[in-house]
């Protein structure tokens, strides 16, 4: 079982892209742009997967997630964090799932209940576009060489150093 400090350490540890599918750009499938990244932790033997999905019809509808591949049969793969865009007009706030921009996180308590999806959800103003979400997500998960597989997004690297009102 992962403890909360271990979850935070897995999200924050420095990572590198080992494989990108496709190598650059995105595939289009089922009305969405798609990319998968295989990552490794720089200092430890941790292995991760990132999935990136964006609707081709409603560009504010996207999902970017980090999955920890534990290598342990009992633990399995655990989605640690997911950045989502605006899902459209539906607001599932009764279920704490929002139509506005939001972030899903896994918690120790959820894992103890057998829940493997990050169901702790918060609305966010940290990003308002897909490109902005990618920049914030890559910074949050401490991904160092993301430009190698997404060179077309070079300008969002500026977002890593900008702050508004002292907050990121």
* CA 14 and chain centroid, separation: 15
pLDDT of residue 14: 96
Using an 8 Å Cβ cutoff, are 110 and 130 in contact?
no
- Give residue-wise pLDDT tens across range 4-13: 999 999 999 9
Of all residues in the chain, the percent with pLDDT exceeding 70 is 85
Mean local confidence (pLDDT), 86-90:
67
pLDDT at position 97: 61
Burial 66-91 (b: 16+ CB within 10 A, else e): bbbbeeeeeeeebbbbbbbbbbeeee
How confident is the prediction for the chain on average, in pLDDT? 86
Q: What is the DSSP string of 81-136?
A: EEEE----S--BGGGTB-SSSEEEE--HHHHHTT--S--EEEE--S-SSHHHHHHH
What's the pLDDT band for 165 if we cut at 50, 70, 90? very low
pLDDT confidence of 43, banded at 50, 70, 90? confident
**pLDDT tens digit string along 49-81?**
999 999 999 899 999 999 999 988 888 899 999
pLDDT at 167 over 50: no
Query: Quick one: pLDDT at residue 96?
Result: 57
Angle 104-107-110 (CA atoms, 0-180°, nearest 5)? 100
Nearest to 64 by CA among 88, 86, 40, 35: 35
Domain boundaries, the chain: 4-152
Structural tokens at position 156: 């969002």
């Amino acid at each position: 079982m992962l403890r909360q400090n271990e979850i935070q350490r897995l999200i924050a540890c420095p990572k590198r892209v080992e494989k990108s599918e496709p190598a650059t750009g995105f595939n289009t499938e089922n009305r969405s742009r798609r990319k998968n990244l295989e990552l490794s932790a720089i200092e430890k033997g941790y292995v991760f997967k990132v999935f990136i999905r964006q609707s081709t019809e409603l560009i504010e509808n996207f999902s970017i997630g980090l999955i920890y591949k534990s290598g342990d049969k009992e633990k399995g793969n655990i989605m640690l964090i997911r950045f989502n865009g605006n899902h459209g007009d539906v607001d599932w706030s009764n279920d704490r799932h929002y139509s506005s921009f939001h972030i899903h996180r896994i918690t120790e308590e959820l894992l103890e209940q057998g829940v493997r999806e990050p169901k702790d959800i918060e609305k966010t103003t940290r990003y308002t576009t897909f490109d902005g979400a990618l920049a914030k997500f890559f910074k949050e998960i401490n991904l160092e060489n993301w430009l190698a597989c997404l060179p077309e997004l070079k300008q969002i690297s500026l977002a890593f150093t900008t702050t508004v009102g002292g907050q990121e």
